[in-house]
A = this chain, B = another copy of it.
Amino acid sequence: MFDLKLAGGLLLALSLGGCAALETGPAQTVPVAASEAGVTEYMLDNGMKVLVKPDHRAPVVVSQVWYKVGSSYEYPGITGLSHVLEHMMFKGTKTVGPGEFSRIIAAKGGSENAFTGRDYTAYFETLSKQHLETALRLEADRMHNLVLDPAEFAKELEVVKEERRLRTEDKPTGLTYENFNAAAWRASPYHNPVIGWMSDLDHMTVDDLAAWYQRWYAPNNATLVVVGDVTPEAVVQLARRHFGPIAPFDDLELKTPVEPVQHGISRVEVRVPARQSYLMMGYKTPIVGSGVGGNGTEDWEPYALYVLSAILDGGSSARFSRELERDRAIAAAADADYSPYSRLPDMLTLDGIPTDAHSTRELEQALLEQVERLKSEPVSRAELDRIVTQLVAGKVFERDSMFYQAMQLGMLETVGLDWRLSEQELASVRAVTPAQVQAVARKYLTRDNLTVGELVPLPIESPTATPRPAQGDQTGD
């Protein structure tokens, strides 16, 4: 199993082996856009988007296929379908046997994996550049030729249920995180866990999966992102060859409810055997392109919230580390989290573990004081500059990774934004002012907009002397 947190979302993934053969030839698909940073965008005739970013530092290529489907496309009764389908995508097609996808990629020295989030399901391979075609051929094959075998499904469903027990039922922070989201969201599909409610897993059938696959897996609901030692022309030619023949489906309307305005604090408590307390707080916030929620969001607000979260928790010199962890020793850990990018408006969250000498209520109070301070006194230029410099350095460092570059492009495209935002991000972050940070704190970090989830540990029964694994791991992953 493999965890990945991106864009504020809970991602679930499957760990498998992996591999691919680059072949070039005359390209005929004309780019629809190309950017300064070197991204070329194509659209195949069947509606599949292709983004290529050459990076010639090593003879390697990262290939990712992103589908616009994830748990926010589901609802109670059928939650978990996207994630189980992701597992089944490794179980064979009409011409490739169960597990063979992974064996082929591994045999060519590559690695592959996949993940499911609230807003996307993505499949990726990393391999020597000459093997790219193998990856694209296999991805195209499973886009329309998947075989959903009832026996394989039955086995895999048990794997997923065990994953759920491990990560939720038997993990107090995971259970708290799930309850926190369920308490915070009334109509938004972010209410539901990515892995699905257990009873929905219990009731899932292979026919449900087949319908989900038919509904969402098609070239006009997918984006291919390739980053590496390639040329755009060569990649799009391969893409046309392998994905081009796949028929698109008719666009179907997706009904996505809009979260109603919150009128007061929500609290949910989780009392289960655990070693440590844990506190999670979330304020509903806009995102980039948040016209979705309407209500007069300014374009700079998401970036101001992003900077705000870094002021609280952007490394060892940020306020949480300095004040809550070191100076006052109230928090054994304290985090702030916000992403400007998702399909639907999300939350800015604060979470933490109190030290043994302090209660969860004291930690909550300390976090609220931090929030109040953001409202009452503007951050100084010096502090803001230091934080922004660190943020920008982190972003630049991330971009050193081909995989991260591809992730960023695929994620932006798939949540309904524009991949060009990844190029504008640094400028948007640099433009944030102290007054803007104060303004978003005052506007969104309000009491009536808050949800609090609290893990209250009950004694752990230990009939044997076998120690349980520690429970203090971070939730949200």
Interface of A with B (CB < 8 Å)? Answer: 75-79, 175, 179, 182-183, 186-189, 191-192, 197-200, 202-203, 208, 254-258, 260, 263-272, 448, 454, 456
Chain B residues with CB under 8 Å of A265's CB are 267-269
Further contacts, 18 of them, CB under 8 A, given A263-B270, A264-B271: A75-B77, A76-B189, A76-B191, A77-B255, A175-B263, A179-B263, A187-B192, A197-B260, A198-B260, A199-B257, A202-B258, A264-B269, A265-B268, A266-B266, A266-B268, A267-B267, A267-B268, A269-B448
Chain B residues with CB under 8 Å of A191's CB are 76, 186
Contact A255 B200 (CB under 8 A): yes
Chain B residues with CB under 8 Å of A199's CB are 187, 257-258, 260
Contact A263 B271 (CB under 8 A): yes
Work out how many copies of this chain go into the complex. Answer: 2
Bound together, the chains give a CA A192 to CA B260 distance in angstroms of 12
Chain B residues with CB under 8 Å of A202's CB are 258
Selected A-B contacts with CB under 8 Å, 17 pairs? A76-B187, A77-B255, A79-B257, A179-B264, A183-B183, A183-B266, A186-B191, A186-B197, A187-B200, A197-B260, A198-B260, A200-B255, A263-B269, A263-B272, A264-B270, A264-B456, A265-B269
Bound together, the chains give a CA A208 to CA B179 distance in angstroms of 31
With both beta carbons as reference points, the residue of chain B lying nearest to A454 in the complex is identified as B264
Contact A77 B203 (CB under 8 A): no
Chain B residues with CB under 8 Å of A76's CB are 75, 187-189, 191, 257
With both beta carbons as reference points, the residue of chain B lying nearest to A204 in the complex is identified as B255
Q: What is the minimal beta-carbon distance from A43 to any residue of chain B, in angstroms?
A: 28
Chain B residues with CB under 8 Å of A198's CB are 258, 260
Chain B residues with CB under 8 Å of A75's CB are 75-77
Q: What is the minimal beta-carbon distance from A233 to any residue of chain B, in angstroms?
A: 42
With both beta carbons as reference points, the residue of chain B lying nearest to A265 in the complex is identified as B269
Instruction: Say whether, besides A79-B257, A186-B179, A266 and B263 are in contact (CB < 8 Å).
Output: no
Contact A78 B186 (CB under 8 A): no
Bound together, the chains give a CA A254 to CA B191 distance in angstroms of 21
With both beta carbons as reference points, the residue of chain B lying nearest to A202 in the complex is identified as B258
- 6 tightest A-B contacts by CB? A264-B269, A199-B258, A75-B75, A77-B255, A182-B186, A76-B257
Q: What is the minimal beta-carbon distance from A322 to any residue of chain B, in angstroms?
A: 32
Contact A266 B267 (CB under 8 A): yes
Instruction: Say whether, besides A179-B186, A269-B266, A270-B263, A255 and B197 are in contact (CB < 8 Å).
Output: no
Bound together, the chains give a CA A268 to CA B256 distance in angstroms of 24
Q: What is the minimal beta-carbon distance from A205 to any residue of chain B, in angstroms?
A: 8
Contact A203 B255 (CB under 8 A): yes
Bound together, the chains give a CA A197 to CA B203 distance in angstroms of 26
Bound together, the chains give a CA A175 to CA B272 distance in angstroms of 31
Chain B residues with CB under 8 Å of A268's CB are 183, 264-267
Q: What is the minimal beta-carbon distance from A331 to any residue of chain B, in angstroms?
A: 22
Contact A78 B255 (CB under 8 A): yes
Bound together, the chains give a CA A256 to CA B197 distance in angstroms of 11
Chain B residues with CB under 8 Å of A256's CB are 77
Bound together, the chains give a CA A266 to CA B456 distance in angstroms of 13
Bound together, the chains give a CA A67 to CA B264 distance in angstroms of 37
Bound together, the chains give a CA A456 to CA B241 distance in angstroms of 63
Bound together, the chains give a CA A197 to CA B191 distance in angstroms of 14
Bound together, the chains give a CA A64 to CA B454 distance in angstroms of 48
